[in-house]
Structure 1
Amino acid sequence: MIDGEDANSRISPEIRGLDSMKENTLTDRFKMVKNFDLNLLTTFEAVFIHRSGTKAADALGITPSAVSQALGRLRIHYNDALFIRDGKALAPTTVAIGIHEGLAEAYDNMIAKLQNISFDSLPTRLVVHCSPYISMFTINVMRKVLDEIAPDCEIVHSISGNSIAEAEDALIFRKADIIFDIHPHVSHSRVSQHISSEIPVMICRKSHPRLNGSLTREQAAEESHIFVDSESASLLSNRLDVNALLQLDRKCRFISPSLLSIISMVESSDMLAFVTERFYQKMKDSFDIQRLEMEVTLPSQPIYMIYNKAALNNQFFSTLVRKMTDIFMQEFQNNTPR
């Protein structure tokens, strides 16, 4: 048995010097943050994501008053307004944007450690956050890989409401392990992999009184249309691109976030709608719908797989992502027109 003095005597002066430097550095850092409540950073991130004190309070399970108090303390600490009222939303100042960008990776790593999301052993459950439609062709790939590497792992599907804030909230606060979304999440602490591209097609009911198999610009201008409801900037961009390609502003009569609701409305009315080629092929024999060939080539909609970089430090998660990516890329190549 080696006593304390003998053990210490065998440690080289260089090692003792490094330990001392590390201790001094940590001591200095403790002094810097001893009067700063690190919980304020969680409140800051929630407000930054939701652009609303009330929504941030709901996400964190605290009162709006507590959020206001936390922002007040942060404003004093940083000597900056941080968020400025812009209509109904709170717009971040340049200082707030700098704080968010500077802390993003470190904050993500800290949350991962605190929540013990390390997957040192095979996990018993994985949470996937995406819309019901995207889940149709993504979660089955995860299931296929898990059957191979973790057959007892449970998959939990958390439904996205087409809200950017929901997806950001799920990523930052670790409510989901993987997110599938229609827009990339640009961050130093996250990975956004392009795994698929969805091709839009115009549809109407088979018994449409004026249309059969094709649609001209002039006909499109005379008909009523259905839009997909989403906060996604990329979907809005695609909608505007379609209007520009058709050289008209389509008349909207119905808006819904649900492709099933949209396709049901098309079947029972004279309205037109865009759905994806994949969805049309699955539903064309179950609904009274037809595809309309158009004079223009429509822009495709990318699909991304998003996850936190810190999770890749674990061998299980890294293997899961790599094998899923291989399958997605193979399917992507097989479905890409040549």
Structure 2
Amino acid sequence: MSISTMMDVENTNHRISPEIRRLERMKENRLTDRFKTVKSFDLNLLTTFEAVFIHRSGTKAADALGITPSAVSQALGRLRIHFNDALFLRDGKALAPTTVAIGIHEGLEDAYDNLIAKLQNISFDAVPTRLVVHCAAYVSMFTLNVMRRVLDEIAPECEIVHTMSHNSITEIEESLIFRKADIIFDMHSHVSHSRVSQQISSETPVVICRRQHPRIDDTLRLEQIPEEKFIYIDSESAVLLSNRIKVNSMMRENRVCRFISPSLLTNISMVESSDMLAIVPERFYEKMKNSFEVKALDVDFAIPSQPVYLIYNKSALNNQFFATLVKKMTDIFQEELRIEPVL
């Protein structure tokens, strides 16, 4: 090192105030203490804990993490010793979290999400070449085109990869926590401190049957309901299940269900080829009514509408590209779908 360089370093060090040096020493001491606290704790155990918490199953957690069930079992054993609690108890075929486990999950949720986000953002400063979107097939019909339009404007080389949830809340929770998807569109809001969940659409349901139904003309009357059988959409969403109960109450009957599927396309095919009835989104019916021998029925009761949400991890907004993408998509949804912004 040259004499001039040594003088520059000395002068630079001299300019650091005693207060700054004191703060740096405090930070160093604090980090050293934390290192001592966690030196005997494998932080990978937290990932295993979150996977078991989401899936309520050691086997499913192992599949999600790409490890063996034995490794999950060993990790849970170490966690139980560390926290001095059973953490998960057998409840039929599932593992139910104890109050301690629930507290750990809630306490770690934001910190764990931020840690993963920071790790991703280390290599995510530039415009990405690939974005993963997780949603059901029907929802993708009116959401992915909006995303594609925005990307055509701000990142025309970016690839969109669509993965399907099959209406599974568990799959979507896993995608959010383990960053398997950048954006999710779902009919369940997935409320969390670490996530943004904003409504982008409101789907109006209609009752449909085949055009040549032997008992129903253009109107479904309450007295006809006990004679008919219905098709249900399969979903873990509490909102959808709640709406199903409301519809039963409005119909004054518990509908007889003969077929359940997560696919609206499958359901409308079954309606066309049988005497069963189904409730589908009006937008879906309008797109498909000329391709299937089905018709929408008038009813004398109001079926609850179904919201659709745009969901992403809050920390992703730290990336300017992602923040711009979300803002532009939200503007289009508000304009085209006439969803008023929440104030």
> TM-score, normalised on structure 1?
0.96
Whether contact under 8 Å (1:118, 1:311) holds in the other structure is no
- What's the counterpart of residue 66 of structure 2? 61
Whether contact under 8 Å (1:184, 1:304) holds in the other structure is yes
- What's the counterpart of residue 319 of structure 1? 324
Whether contact under 8 Å (1:189, 1:308) holds in the other structure is yes
Pick closer, same or farther for the CA change 1:140–1:125 going to 2, 3 Å.
Answer: same
- What's the counterpart of residue 2 of structure 1? 5
Aligned mate of 2:145, from 116, 130, 140? 140
What amino acid does structure 1 have at the position aligned with 2:5? I
Pick closer, same or farther for the CA change 1:334–1:62 going to 2, 3 Å.
Answer: closer
Alpha-carbon distance, 1:313 to partner: 0.8
- What's the counterpart of residue 101 of structure 2? 96
User: What are structure 2's unaligned runs of at least 5 residues?
Assistant: none
- What's the counterpart of residue 208 of structure 1? 213
State the Cα deviation string for residues 278-315 of structure 1 (Å, max 9, x = none): 00000111111111010100001111111001100111
Aligned mate of 1:264, from 263, 266, 269? 269
| 1:276-315 superposed matches below 5 A | 276-315=281-320
Alpha-carbon distance, 1:2 to partner: 3.2
- Alignment length, in residue pairs? 335
Alpha-carbon distance, 1:117 to partner: 6.4
Alpha-carbon distance, 1:10 to partner: 2.1
Give the whole-Å Cα distance in 1 for the aligned partners of 2:272 and 2:116.
47
- What's the counterpart of residue 129 of structure 1? 134
Whether contact under 8 Å (1:134, 1:180) holds in the other structure is yes
1:15 aligned onto 2:20: yes
- What's the counterpart of residue 239 of structure 1? 244
- What's the counterpart of residue 201 of structure 2? 196
- What's the counterpart of residue 229 of structure 1? 234
User: How many percent of aligned residue pairs carry the same amino acid?
Assistant: 73
What amino acid does structure 1 have at the position aligned with 2:255? R
State the Cα deviation string for residues 108-152 of structure 1 (Å, max 9, x = none): 111123344663111101000001110001111111111111111
1:72 aligned onto 2:77: yes
What amino acid does structure 1 have at the position aligned with 2:220? L
Give the whole-Å Cα distance in 1 for the aligned partners of 2:83 and 2:213.
62
Alpha-carbon distance, 1:332 to partner: 2.6
Alpha-carbon distance, 1:88 to partner: 1.0
Whether contact under 8 Å (2:233, 2:263) holds in the other structure is yes
| 1:112-191 superposed matches below 5 A | 112-116=117-121, 119-191=124-196
Whether contact under 8 Å (2:45, 2:75) holds in the other structure is yes
Alpha-carbon distance, 1:334 to partner: 7.3
Give the whole-Å Cα distance in 2 for the aligned partners of 1:301 and 1:254.
21
Give the whole-Å Cα distance in 1 for the aligned partners of 2:228 and 2:273.
15
- What's the counterpart of residue 52 of structure 2? 47
Give the whole-Å Cα distance in 1 for the aligned partners of 2:186 and 2:121.
25
Give the whole-Å Cα distance in 2 for the aligned partners of 1:164 and 1:279.
22
Give the whole-Å Cα distance in 2 for the aligned partners of 1:316 and 1:289.
44
Aligned mate of 2:38, from 33, 57, 60? 33
Aligned mate of 1:331, from 316, 319, 336? 336
Query: RMSD of the alignment, in Å?
Result: 1.4
State the Cα deviation string for residues 227-285 of structure 1 (Å, max 9, x = none): 11112221111111110111101111111111111111111111111110000000111
Give the whole-Å Cα distance in 1 for the aligned partners of 2:122 and 2:169.
23
Q: After the TM superposition, which parts of structure 1 deviate over 4 Å for at least 4 consecutive aligned residues? A: none
Alpha-carbon distance, 1:52 to partner: 0.6
Whether contact under 8 Å (2:200, 2:339) holds in the other structure is no
Mean Cα deviation higher: 95-104 or 326-335: 326-335
Give the whole-Å Cα distance in 2 for the aligned partners of 1:134 and 1:333.
17
Give the whole-Å Cα distance in 1 for the aligned partners of 2:124 and 2:304.
39
Give the whole-Å Cα distance in 1 for the aligned partners of 2:36 and 2:10.
30
Pick closer, same or farther for the CA change 1:2–1:117 going to 2, 3 Å.
Answer: closer
State the Cα deviation string for residues 168-220 of structure 1 (Å, max 9, x = none): 11111111000111111121111111111111100001111111111011112
User: What are structure 1's unaligned runs of at least 5 residues?
Assistant: none
What amino acid does structure 2 have at the position aligned with 1:49? I
Pick closer, same or farther for the CA change 1:334–1:320 going to 2, 3 Å.
Answer: closer
Whether contact under 8 Å (1:201, 1:276) holds in the other structure is yes
